[in-house]
Amino acid sequence: MFFVLLSNYYSGTHVMEGSGRMVVSAVGLNSQTGIIFTLLGAGSEDEEKKMKKGKKQGPPENRNKAKTQDGIALEIQPLKSEEGAESEEKEEKEEKEKKKVNVTKKEKSVLQGKLTRLAVQIGKAGLIMSAVTVIILILFFVIDTFGVQGREWTAECTPIYIQYFVKFFIIGVTVLVVAVPEGLPLAVTISLAFSVKKMMKDNNLVRHLDACETMGNATAICSDKTGTLTMNRMTVVQAYIGDTHYKSIPEPEAINSETLEVLVNSISINSAYTTKILPSEKEGGLPRHVGNKTECALLGMVLDLKRDYQPIRDEVPEEKLYKVYTFNSSRKSMSTVLKNTSGPGFRMYSKGASEIVLRKCSHILDASGQPRVFKAKDRDEMVRKVIEPMACDGLRTICVAMRDFTTEPDWDNEADILNDLTCICVVGIEDPVRPEVPEAISKCQRSGITVRMVTGDNINTARAIATKCGILQPGEDFLCMEGKDFNQQIRNDKGEVEQERLDKVWPKLRVLARSSPTDKHTLVKGIIDSTVGETRQVVAVTGDGTNDGPALKKADVGFAMGIAGTDVAKEASDIILTDDNFTSIVKAVMWGRNVYDSISKFLQFQLTVNVVAVIVAFTGACITQDSPLKAVQMLWVNLIMDTLASLALATEPPTEALLLRKPYGRDKPLISRTMMKNILGHAVYQLIITFTLLFAGEKFFNIDSGRNAPLHSPPSEHYTIIFNVFVMMQLFNEINARKIHGERNVFEGIYRNPIFCCVVLGTFALQIIIVQFGGKPFSCTALTIDQWLWCIFIGVGELLWGQFISAVPTHRLKFLKEAGHGIPKEDIAEEVLTEGADEIDHAEMELRKGQILWFRGLNRIQTQIKVVNAFRSSLYEGLEKPESRSSIHNFMSHPEFVPLSEEESRVPTIDEDCVEIEHLPSSSRNGGGGKPPGRSLHSHEFSV
């Protein structure tokens, strides 16, 4: 078979089945492929270059003429004329202004933006506290030494004074080190890395790290149907045979033997012999369906009836088929004629859409296998009692029939041939919903996530599948519409999409059927850009084909199918579902929310230590001229609360309880009121204990006081006990930090996280070693058993105090404020909205302007290098250009999914504009990645 597809005449058509050779002529941006790749962002730069080139090269006499290229009218204007130069300059200025206004305000990462903002604020507060501590220490020393005591600065005392000043500076640096939360990036990295590794076991291959935590904020999921919600395996689930309506495939014994024989022969012979059901490649897997899905379903029914179709095909090979009427859209049926071997005459087997074939049936096989008259009233009753109930269940109904000819008719007269049939059976075929999908969708809905189905199927099938999945709930106010109606409601008279119109549709929309790739992209973009709700919607999208690429790329999180997905879909996505199952999306939601919780747990623990350590160091230094916690001890505490705590709290596995609450939201603070209550409550307990031990601990333990010790005095038991009690309180408070939503049982699920248990026990063991054997380097002296027991007892008091704090209702503490909000839109700096800025990094906003200029300087150097390379490549215009490797993979940052066929040799050709068009990789022929076709002709051998 040889086809020549002309550029504009066949624009947007699809080859569904067949094999052969074809010559493909590029159809440009008007084709479906061109639209998809334009939405993906590929080829836009080339089009701009062509437009600019057309403007520059156009002669003056053609200034007002339009040249149509690939369906786009390009205005050609002279570059040399003053009027042309002014208009071009004006257009460029307007274009820049438009880009500046329409820049996409998209955060690189919601969590990273909040964390960086919070970290910078804490760091500033710590810097102020550190500076104030040093200043107070110096002023107190100077006033007391030279003012009150009346001493003079002598040369021999200079080294001593300098040592005091160095000591004060070290104390200030220690306060700063403890205050600055340098463990936040580590906690985020550990949590994300841990989640990504575990998500791989849950069939989620994460390509972009930010997608993991973004999924925790998801408020909407736009899922396709086939293969994701359903099994992508057409199956016969109901049958009407011998005057009996079976709700499932009956046993062979329940069917008359003659009827069964005719049914099996009809299905086996009257189908493409290339359609087969093969054994599974994996042990324990489902059989593989090869060929037409509907015919595979019928062959599967034959196997369910304990029969085999292959011996029948071997007995009647294709060469013995007398006549074949292939399926087409007009007759909606397929028929195969056999010549009788036992005598004269012919037998014809037919199958097709039930409403079409039943009209041509005059008889039907009854329970005894004998044909009886099938009148119009019988057909109407059958439609009412059998066909319509099947259709309401979302089934595709197929009628299997036959006819015997005693003499040879006129085979070209199809109207007479396909008539007077005898109905054998009517079957209902569906693509079954995955058994685990309804429960998964129910979990999403309980967790505040709206699931929408976007499919290319007809609306009745989509509505039925959506009802079975649980997307459509009885009594709920929802919309189900086709793509045509969807576009009529969201577009104005000019055909432009209006956000106001879209905002009236999408909140209630649950099923979008007969949708095109543009419809899916428009819906996703409209939901993301909408300002209807209190917070911006975070949208996740699933897809497997090249058509889904634009929506996958536009979504906050794109899920591509790992088995059925094309290269374009995978590269446009953020996460790949290795099992093509919707339940894996629910697991991704759990892990995303778990990342947020892990970071919040770490923040709750760290900020408690920060507040206590800074206040103790500051107050102790101001009152006693020395910090109760020495510099090395503070560094050890810092190690506990940063590195070890991040490792312990950021590796907590997710639980089903994460799906019992609504999404966090992009603007919700990291530190809630409950967390703030826990931070301040535990800080109060620790400060009371620490100051009590500092000023009265020597009396309680009957030891010498460590206050006001000389400059180089040995470690004291007093300050060692303070240090040990402080660490013990942090260890037990780390257990309290496991719960951030007011839960009472802080030990729940602690054994599910062996890393946490190892970190706590390891820290306790190291603390024993430091105290007992650390000596002067750690400013510690060995403690007795009684002293250790008291230290542990005071630490355990953290758990009891935590129960008291949990009992205090948060809603009564009106004075508590939340922290760690996202940056509101009104606070976004205007200078960020510059040309080419497609992402706003809220972390960058917290840096000083000099740092911003420094980073942007580096970025602009990189941009200038690209410009130089582009200028050098332009020197080759009109000449032989160096070999190019331009494809869709150029604008993707992850090359791991580049198909091997990309490495095949390319035959460069030059079109009329001297633009090189490459040989399309084989993946693009099969729906995969590749550059959209240009204007050159390529010969491809294909098989669909």
Catalytic sites, residue numbers: 224
Q: Is 103 exposed, middle or buried (0-12, 13-18, 19+ CB in 10 A)?
A: middle
| Sequence letter at residue 346 | F
Query: Euclidean distance between the first and final Cα of the chain, in Å?
Result: 13
Is the Cα torsion angle 261, 263, 265, 268 positive or negative in sign?
negative
Pairing of the two strands 396-405 and 479-482 = unpaired
Would you state the structure tokens that stand for residue 221, as one six-digit string? 């999921």
**b/e sequence 788-803, b meaning 16+ C-beta within 10 Å:** bebbbebbebbeebbe
3-class DSSP assignment, residue 509: strand
Q: Are 445 and 217 in contact (CB under 8 A)?
A: no
Rounded distance between C-alpha atoms, residue 12 and residue 791, angstroms: 77
Q: What are phi and psi of 350, to 5 degrees?
A: -135, 155
Q: Pick the closest to residue 386 from 376, 374, 398 (CA basis).
A: 398
**Lookup result for tokens 């058993």:** 785
Pairing of the two strands 333-339 and 323-325 = antiparallel
Rounded distance between C-alpha atoms, residue 537 and residue 658, angstroms: 19
**Lookup result for tokens 């011998």:** 242
Q: How far is CA 439 from CA 293, 468, 557, 587, 724, in A?
A: 27, 11, 22, 12, 50
Query: How many CA atoms within 13 Å lie on the side-chain side of 551?
Result: 30
Q: Pick the closest to residue 795 from 860, 857, 727 (CA basis).
A: 727
**Lookup result for tokens 């999408």:** 506
Rounded distance between C-alpha atoms, residue 167 and residue 161, angstroms: 10
Rounded distance between C-alpha atoms, residue 398 and residue 427, angstroms: 5
**Lookup result for tokens 């080829």:** 43
Q: Pick the closest to residue 583 from 229, 62, 104 (CA basis).
A: 229
Q: Are 728 and 736 in contact (CB under 8 A)?
A: no
Would you state the structure tokens that stand for residue 26, as one six-digit string? 């590029």
Residues in the chain: 944
Rounded distance between C-alpha atoms, residue 671 and residue 652, angstroms: 18
**b/e sequence 180-192, b meaning 16+ C-beta within 10 Å:** bbebbebbbebbb
Q: Are 134 and 168 in contact (CB under 8 A)?
A: yes
Pairing of the two strands 421-430 and 361-365 = parallel
3-class DSSP assignment, residue 539: strand
Q: Are 743 and 806 in contact (CB under 8 A)?
A: yes
Q: How far is CA 847 from CA 289, 479, 572, 830, 857, in A?
A: 58, 46, 31, 15, 15
The most distant pair of C-alpha atoms in the chain lies apart, rounded to whole Å, by 135
Q: Are 589 and 202 in contact (CB under 8 A)?
A: no
Angle in degrees, CA 96, 101, 103, rounded to 5: 90
**b/e sequence 590-621, b meaning 16+ C-beta within 10 Å:** bbbbbbbbbbbbbbbbbbbbbbbbbbbbbbbb
Non-local CB neighbours of 504 within 8 Å, separated by 6+ positions: 489
Rounded distance between C-alpha atoms, residue 238 and residue 259, angstroms: 17
